[in-house]
Chain A
């Protein structure tokens, strides 16, 4: 089986909404004009653990323009709400920055002003927010995100390590990281009798509808979620966040529509983050470099409110084969906000550690790191025993080595040391059930309706391209409507599965439309999604980095980065390249600067804005490029495509760390690699 030739798919079509966005005409959640709207602002806890003893709202209520103050004492009850969403339901405080109230006012400014006037007194309890490898609360979760076994074990790792010709045993750590999409989370909640409409900045209108219906104990049909334009999410908008529940609670309480925008500072506690990780990697190989032992033991955190167990070592189960293998995940329950999805949860921190360890093993064994990976490239998925649908890691490594000019070894140019690093990248290729609706308009145009959300990826454009090919018309004949739970159910823009899932439904709808004489068709792929033959389905890639390190100041700059990917058919090279280099850029940030520092005494995150929490700026992105090899994988979806939203970030941090080591001989195993960790050691 192979994939049909295409005409519009595969061309670098501009984003359909690009002009609207540039001209400020794309309406984002907060910008809808709603009559008689009130403004809510969250009031958040200033302690990390304890109980609210008393609340004094009088000064806030007396302030100009204030309509109401909501706290647990007067908020509507939500008996069905769970975890982070059960806000204002009890006096318990479980982390610093948790929502403990809301001010609703006639203007945003009045609400922000009064927010500071609500007085809380707490019975403070001792908190613990610091993750340690020997934390006394460490436990084994029942599964890791979303449904993977917590631990795996095969053979005898300890013995294999003892007998290995070469072995390494190192611990790598990654800090707390925050997603920080450009558009902060925002919600407008409108009650109309028993029905709730939400304009919300999120990654999945239907997933949000379901959770809201459950939280407010109402039928899903009575909830409508609209997310037409979303300014980034990186996972933080994948699950409903507490502020959106607060907006709906406040709207019900004041019986008016309510607007709520999360501030950048509040994004550090209310909208999820990547757990810090402590990862012990042990690898052993024989004289030829064939892996004989792989052990990946992970310690990370969750909250006391909910459990989120990042699947950090899961990727290690499938990347390389070895007769003796073991992976474990342990969690500490801390008095912190619950960690959540951040671009490539699991794969991203896990591959930083695994691919750093592979580099260390290559050096220990005296084998080129690319060669080591090629030698250990498995025929079948070591975990499931299934064949790979396609696995082109070796081709990516070879192609990249060639294009990049792979010649590791430190070079000195004046006061700068240069070195090269490489790492593999991988990400699951998924498809989820989705519905789609197609209509022939009679004037030569067609309207597609999909419940998809375009979080800035270009999904809208790519779906229209797919439809244009299937209907054999030009792109401008396709009207596409997305981002509305009133359309047929569609999965979240996450797990790099959006285009794959929605696109399959679009293909089916278009084919049905062409085949029959109906002018309107509706399809549902839930009968077929992911139900086919047992194959291991993943995208692969290789990331190459040239790092420059100043010998005096220990500043690290990524002079060049190249990613070569085997990710199936590329639907739109322009938006695809943006996703891939965007992911790689985020990986450079992870390697060199991203970190939310924690104050154990105050039980607080110290960094709360983008002046302190650094992500790369243009000057850090000197020469970042992505390319792909020809790959056509008919097993995932009819387009032959794999997801590309996350694979760019996955191997990048390891490639940077490996390049820094190549340049300096210093191995920093604690991200980010900042000057304080290198100065004086070069």
Chain B
């Protein structure tokens, strides 16, 4: 672990103020459940931590009936919020399907969105990895990739984004508010292309302030289904956030791509009357599974069909 300094920011302005002056770069600190682990592993080496976890800690009703979730709101608190549970049940379920109770008590909304991939090569500084060390190669492509991407990957990186929360937010048209701008969640995370080290469109000195979930009637009839070989405390092999009331529809997948995968093609197919299975296949047509993860195509299709059947 590299030596670093720690500072608790008193405001958004204060957080941004000193950010540029750090030698190896500063990092914002949320709950630290991902960042501190990666620092211990030598993957992240900031010289300064600016703690923003106590800045934006409330969940406020938007004027239009949506919710504005402060970046510092803890995952446990968000999952327990009565408005979230009744109006966006898939979001509460996704949060509760993630990590463990202790971790959720610390993890923040902002940090959760920015948690880094669980590709095992990424976490070991003695192995090559384009995401961690640009140009060093992607051993996962030919190596161990059973749990990595089947859509949207590139020759440079086949990692998946691990967040459950972000999958539900992607389905619900959420918007990320930063210190500079508003970014629709579906555009917030990137595909790896030839810059796999960039997980999102966020700039290094840009702070997430809040996530806004717009009012969405269909979200009240939503569910989150996460598939994993262990009953709890495991990242998704595949997950689905789906909202369906027989009319309106929202679908996003987790575990398939470098970002939460909003299934626009499947939504469109259902709107035009396709069967659930056909809709799933319409979405997964673009899948390019690797040597050992073709099972995800079938698994994703079945999980989606199952989720939609349960909502029907």
Nearest chain A CB to B131 CB, angstrom units: 15
Distance (Å) between the CB of B125 and the closest chain A CB? Answer: 8
Q: Which residues of B contact A (CB under 8 A)?
A: 1-3, 41-42, 118, 120-121, 123-128, 139, 142-144, 146, 225, 227-235, 237-238, 292-293, 295-296, 298-299, 302-303, 305-306
* Selected interface stretch from A7-15, A277-285, A552-560: A552-560
* CB contact between B1 and one of A109, A592, A602, A609 (< 8 Å): that residue: A109
Please report the number of residue pairs spanning A and B whose Cβ atoms sit closer than 8 angstroms. 99
Asked if residues A592 and B229 are in contact (CB atoms below 8 Å), the reply is yes
13 intermolecular pairs with C-beta atoms under 8 Å apart: A265-B124, A553-B227, A554-B299, A556-B229, A592-B230, A599-B139, A601-B142, A604-B127, A614-B230, A618-B232, A619-B233, A674-B229, A675-B237
Q: A599-B139, A601-B139, A675-B299 are in contact. Are A555 and B2 (CB under 8 A)?
A: no
Q: How many Å from the CB of B39 to the closest CB on chain A?
A: 11
Q: Quote the shortest CB–CB distance from A598 to chain B (angstroms).
A: 8
The answer to whether A415 has its CB under 8 Å from any CB of chain B is: yes
Which residues does chain A contribute within 8 Å of B293, judged by CB atoms? 676
Task: Assess whether B299 is in contact with A612, with CB atoms less than 8 Å apart.
Answer: no
Contact in complex: A415, B306 (CB < 8 Å): yes
Interface residue? A165 (CB, 8 A): no
Q: Which of A572-619 contact B (CB under 8 A)?
A: 592-593, 597, 599-602, 604, 606-609, 611-612, 614, 616-619
Selected contact of B302 from candidates A109, A601, A679, CB within 8 Å: A679
The B interface, classified by DSSP as helix, strand, loop or mixed, is: loop
Chain B residue with minimal CB distance to A44? B126
State whether the Cβ of A6 lies closer than 8 Å to any Cβ in chain B. no
Q: Which of B1, B142, B292, B299 has the most CB of A within 10 A?
A: B299
Chain B residues near A599 (CB, 8 Å)? Answer: 139, 143-144
Q: Are B124 and A619 in contact (CB-based, < 8 A)?
A: no
**B298 touching A614, Cβ below 8 Å:** no
A599 shortest CB reach to chain B, Å: 4
Residue numbers in B under 8 Å from A609 (CB-CB): 123
Chain A interface SS verdict (over half): loop
A332 to B231: give the CA distance in the assembly, Å.
36
User: A46–B295 Cα gap in the complex (Å)?
Assistant: 32
Please, which residues of chain B bring their CB within 8 A of the CB of A616? 230
Q: How far is the CA of A611 from the CA of B120 in the complex (A)?
A: 10
Give the chain B neighbours of A554 by CB distance below 8 A: 299
Residues of chain A contacted by B128 (CB below 8 angstroms): 602
B229 near A614: Cβ-Cβ < 8 Å: yes
- Residue contact B144 to A606, C-beta cutoff 8 Å: yes
For the complex, is A620 an interface residue (Cβ under 8 Å from B)?
A: yes
4 smallest beta-carbon distances between A and B, as pairs = A619-B231, A619-B232, A676-B295, A46-B126
Which chain B residue has the least Cβ–Cβ distance from A604? B127
Q: What 1/0 flags go to A140-184 for Cβ under 8 Å of B?
A: 000000000000000000000000000000000000000000000
A672 at the interface (CB under 8 A from B): yes
Checking A553, A556, A614, A674 against B303 with a beta-carbon cut-off of 8 angstroms, the contacting residue is A553
Which residue among A601, A618, A680 has the maximum number of chain B CB atoms within 10 Å of its CB? A680
B229 engages A679 (CB within 8 Å):
no
